[in-house]
Amino acid sequence: MITNSVLVAAENAIYTKLLAAVAGTVCKSQIYISDEDMIKEPMPYIIVHAESYEEVIGPGIGIFKVPVRLIFRSHVKETSTNQRTDVVNAINNFAYATPAVTLSTVSGFHCHGFEPSTGSMVIDSEHKAYCYEVEFTLHCMPSDG
């Protein structure tokens, strides 16, 4: 198994389930799997980025600890407070409503645990945006079904 596939599998699982979670919001299809510095479509959008991995039981068992960061970026003036609140609530509902079970329903992925760690809203003056950043850790493994 190529361990980089752990990052790809984690990002794809989060993308798939987060897309459903934010479907009724202004971010309905604006979710990107990438590094936050890449060029994006106009705001609002969400970035999913699995930053690294560490095999937690090993060697060779295949269960990994994967820190993940979600960034919701919305333009200060073009996105209303209510629209922003809807997206933040959808992200929080995703993160606190049995996410490990939900993520494990994605084909080729199994999540053993989901640990939310931080979440904060900051103003990004460079992008003229509000940024809601959420970090969490997955304990997961790619699987073949």
Position 40, amino acid: K
Helix (H) or strand (E) holding 85: helix 81-96
For the chain, percent of residues with pLDDT exceeding 70 = 92
Cβ density class 97-107: b for 16+ within 10 Å, e for less: eebeebbbebe
Q: Are 45 and 30 in contact (CB under 8 A)?
A: yes
Per-residue model confidence (pLDDT) at position 2: 46
For the chain, the first-to-last Cα distance in angstroms comes to 15
Closest CA to 94 of 5, 9, 19, 1: 19
Q: What is the pLDDT of residues 15-74, one digit of tens each?
A: 999 999 999 999 888 899 976 667 667 899 999 999 899 988 777 788 999 999 999 999
Global model pTM greater than 0.85? yes
Q: Which sign does the torsion angle of CA 84, 23, 93, 103 carry?
A: negative
Q: Specify which residues 132 forms β-bridges with.
A: 72, 121
Report the pLDDT averaged over residues 116-131: 90
**What is the structure's pLDDT at 144?**
64
Say if CB 89 and CB 97 are below 8 A apart. Answer: no
Cβ atoms of residues 9 and 142 within 8 Å? yes
